[in-house]
Each structure stands twice: as C-alpha cells, then as structure tokens.
Structure 1
Amino acid sequence: MTQQIALVTGGNKGIGFSIVRALCKEVKECIVYLTARNEERGKAAVEELKKEGLQPRFHQLDIDSLESIDRLKEFLKSTHGGLDILVNNAGVYKPNDVQAKMIIATNYTGTLNVCRALLPIIRPHGRVCNVASLLATMSFTKLSTARRQKFREAKTEDDVSKLMADFVESVEKETLIEEGWVQAAYDVSKMGVIALTKIQAAALNSDSSKQDVLINCCCPGYVNTDMTDHKGIKTPDEGAVTPVFCVLLPANSSEYQGNFLSDKTVVETW
C-alpha cells in the first residue's frame, strides 16, 4: 500500500498545530505535512513537535496566494504522487465587518482555492475536513428567509462564491440588514465553507475515480487560542479531536459525506 500523505493548513499554532500532533501520533506510516504562511514559524513548529519524538515535515503555504497553492500541489504530485488526508484549518477571525473582504477572501476563497487544487490529487479512500464553526449555523437562523433560501439552492461553487461576494458588497454599501444578512463576517465566511462542503461532496459522489473519498466540515469548539483571545474553554488538543475524527473515518462511513460535525456528531445545518 502506498504510504499515506497528510497535510494540515495553518499548522504552526493553535488547533492546526494540535491536529498535526494528533495525526503524527495516530496514523502509522504516514507523512504529515505542517503548512504555514510564515516559513520561519512553520519550521519552528515542526522542530517543537520533533522534540516530542514526532516527525512532521514542513511546506510553505499561504492560502491567499494561488502561486503558493500551486507550488504545494506540484510538490505533492512530483514527490508523493497524490494526497490522502487534507485538513483545511487555516483561517482568520476579526470581530469587525470593516475587514469583511479580507475575512471572506481567506476563510472562504482561500479554502475554495486549496480544494480546487488538491481535491483532484486526493487518492481513493482519502479524507478531507474543512474547518467551519457552529457560529455559522447559529447566524444562519438569523438571515432573512430569502437569504437562507439562496444558501439552500446553491448547487455550484460559483453559486456560493456569488453569495460571498454579495455579502461583501452589502458590507461596503452598509445594507446588510436590508439585504437579509447578519453583521458577522466570520460567521458568513463559515456558512460559505459549509455550503461549499456540501457541493464538493456531491461532486465526489459522482466521480468514479474518487472511490470512498469523503469530505466533511466541522466545528472544533470554543478553543483557547489566539483567535479567541485565549478565552476558549477547550484546549487546542481538545479542539483537534473532531477534525482528526473526520479525517480518520474508516471505510463505509458514507453517512458522514458532506455533513457538518461538532463533538464528533453530525449537526443539522440547512
């Protein structure tokens, strides 16, 4: 059997770092790549894990850069011939909608671009988890009926991207409430990730070359990291539990395909 290859985006600290640690411990004979935008910080994180007796590898990845994403894809193809486990963890949190364009660009568009590049090289029986948030499901209920319906009707990546662009435009025009949105760019960006995951799952189901490839999304929980100003109630290792569960699902786990999980349990979205 070909040696498994795993990759975690945004792995130099917080939940991503703990996901890398868990995968190194739990998946035997697997090469685990810790990726980060900042090469110095990423390599320092790898050295920290090596002190624990673990052997992750580093590769630079800035999910906001198509060039960086393409370099990673070509490296994985030429070095390993593909990828088996992908955790799209990289993201940002800003409480201010003034930065909505940047938040959507990283959390949604960055994740989309990584998936577009790497899903084609995911091998049969591969596993992919997009990190989302329960905040998205909570804020979804506060959208207007018409806006909620547009999410339910989204059938393509472009449909979701249009919704994200509409949100950014509404922020810039200061018409969020009138146009049925909530004032929470982070939450909306993760709604986009959930909608994207559903669409990606449907595409995988119709692709005969992707035998037993599963993609889902999850909420790690309220975790004590920089993103929560260290107010979270879970440790980063506890936050890593559900994402790791998602990418270590055994064969014949199709009931998880395209779903959103919290505490290793499927949660209804829309």
Structure 2
Amino acid sequence: MTKRVAIVTGANKGIGYAVVQALCKQFDGDVLLTGRSEERCKAAVAELQKQGMSPKYHQLDIDDQASINKLRDFVKEQYGGIDVLVNNAGIAFKQSATESFGEQARVSCGTNFTGTLNVCNTLFPLLRPHARVSNVSSFVSQMTISKCSKEIQEKFKNPSITMDQLKGLMQQFIDAAQTGSHQKQGFADWSYGMSKVGVTVMSFIQQRELNSDPREDIVVNACDPGYVDTDMTSHKGTKTVEQGADTPVYVAMLPPGTTSPKGDFVSDRTIKKWG
C-alpha cells in the first residue's frame, strides 16, 4: 500500500512548525517539513525528533518554480500522490520596513499569493482522492476587503470569479501600487492584507474547480490562524503557535466525505462569512 504523506510549507518555525508537530501526532503517514533554509529546517526536524516525532525534510522555496518542481518530482517518486497539503509559507513586512509600498506589494503578493498558487498548480495534479488542502490566509483578508471600494469588493466577491480574473485583479493592484494609484483604483492601502485577499479567494475558486474533478472528495479551505505570537507579528500576537496551528490542522484532518467546511473561510474551527 502506498504510504500517505502530508506536506507543510514554511514549516521550520512558527505556525508551520506547530502544524508539523500536530500532524506528526495525528496523521497516519509521513509528514514532510519544508522551507527555504536547509539549516533551519534540519534544526527543526532535529528538535521534533527529540520530542519523539519523525518528520521528513525537503527543501522548498515557493518563490522558485524549479524548487517547487523538485519537491513535486520527489513526492511523485517516493509517495505517488499527496494526502494533505498545508500552504503556510508567507512573508510580511514590518511596520518599520523602509521598502516602498510598491516594492512591498510586489514582494508580498509575489510570495503569499503567486508563490502559493504556483505550489498548488504544481502539486494539485498529485492530490489523491480524499486529499485535504489548508491554505493559511488571515483575518486581515476580511479587514482588507472591507477597505476596498464597492466595485473592487464586488469583483473579488463574485461567486463565479475565475482564477485568471483573480490573477488579473492581483496584478492590477501590484501595478497600481508601483505608481501609488492603488487607493484611487479602489484597493486597500495594505500590501500584506491584499496578498491574503488573494489567498482566500484563490481557495474558493480551487474548491469550485475541484468539485468537477474526477478524483472524489478533495477539500480545500482557507483558514485564519488568528493573531499569533510569531516573528511575523514581532511576537505581539495573543495566541501561541500551537493555538495558531489548530485551525489549519483541523481543516487538514477533516474526515472522508466532509461536506462542510468545504471551500470556506475557517477561523477557530468555524466557518466565517468572508467579506
């Protein structure tokens, strides 16, 4: 019987590390800890091994298509398919960042939205029936969409929006940010928030597309880990990393035949109205 595998991106620290830790206890198969830094990832694996767990490691830079392809080829050869995918990798600029807003928009959306989408496009063909995908978004996607113009909100919230249309909207924001005209065009003045709007809407579209896929019972959800005490929040978050990992792990471990949550935005294990 083919061995099951769960893949977690951006997993050498913070929420991703806690997701791997929880999956090692709950998932009946190998858990693959991935990240850009081989040194940090191997240190994370060693720490988990001290706790009696046995995660595997593979390098993954979601900004590098060749790196994504290497992971795909490894998983295809070693496992033949994927059972759980937790897209956790992401970045956020600090308030003290000196980069221009245009640069922050380009990099934030390039990693958090485009990088995540590239991982999905490359790995989704390997999803097995009953696979679960957890796209780690944020409550700030809700806050950010509310700050967009009504016209832009309607485009993002259109129930029949296509992936190409979403990519076009995200590129429109990035382009507008380069000239400082993003607010005039109806977008929010928040590069990280806009990147997570992309992740949330991407998840809705992916589920809609997978509903007609011949592989049965594949479930995708966007999830909000909450305000978590990590490097990304400068350790101002009120949740522990274990608490932040709870919802991503919950949607990753949904039982076979799950009809809800499915293609939803989930926070604290609860479906939240988005937008």
TM-score of the superposition, structure 1-length normalised? 0.97
| Structure 1 Cα separation of the partners of residues 80 and 209 of structure 2 | 22
Distance in 1 (CA, whole Å) between partners of 2:137 and 2:56 is 25
Give how far 1:3 is off: 2.5
In the alignment, which residue of structure 1 is the partner of 2:80?
81
What residue is the counterpart of 1:64 in the other structure? 63
Unaligned runs of 5+ in 1: none
2:162 to 151, 156, 159: 156
1:170 CA displacement:
1.1
Provide the C-alpha distance between the structure 1 equivalents of 2:133 and 2:52, rounded to a whole number of angstroms. 26
Q: Which residue does the alignment assign to 1:20?
A: 20
Q: How much does 1:106 deviate?
A: 0.2
Q: Give the secondary structure class of the aligned counterpart of 1:255.
A: coil
Deviations 1:128-186 (A, max 9, x none): 01000111111111110111111123622211111111111111111122111111010
Q: Is the 8 A contact 2:45 2:55 kept in 1?
A: yes
Q: Does 1:37 align with 2:43?
A: no
Q: Which deviates more, 95-104 or 177-186?
A: 95-104
Q: Work out whether residues 5 and 30 of structure 2, in 8 Å CA contact, stay in contact via their aligned partners in 1.
A: yes
What is the deviation of 1:256? 1.5
Equivalence for 2:194: 188
Correspondences of 1:242-253 after superposition (within 5 Å): 242-253=247-258
Number of equivalent positions: 268
Instruction: State whether structure 2 residue 143 is matched by structure 1 residue 138.
Output: yes
* 1:193-212 correspondence runs (5 A): 193-208=199-214, 210-212=215-217
Structure 2 match to 1:127 = 132
Deviations 1:220-263 (A, max 9, x none): 01000000000111110110000000010112212211100000
Greater alpha carbon shift after TM alignment, 239-248 vs 172-181? 172-181
Consecutive unaligned residues in structure 2, runs of 5 or more: none
When normalised by structure 2's length, the TM-score is 0.95
For residues 183 and 83 of structure 2, what CA distance do their matches in structure 1 show?
42
Shift, 1:39, TM fit: 0.8
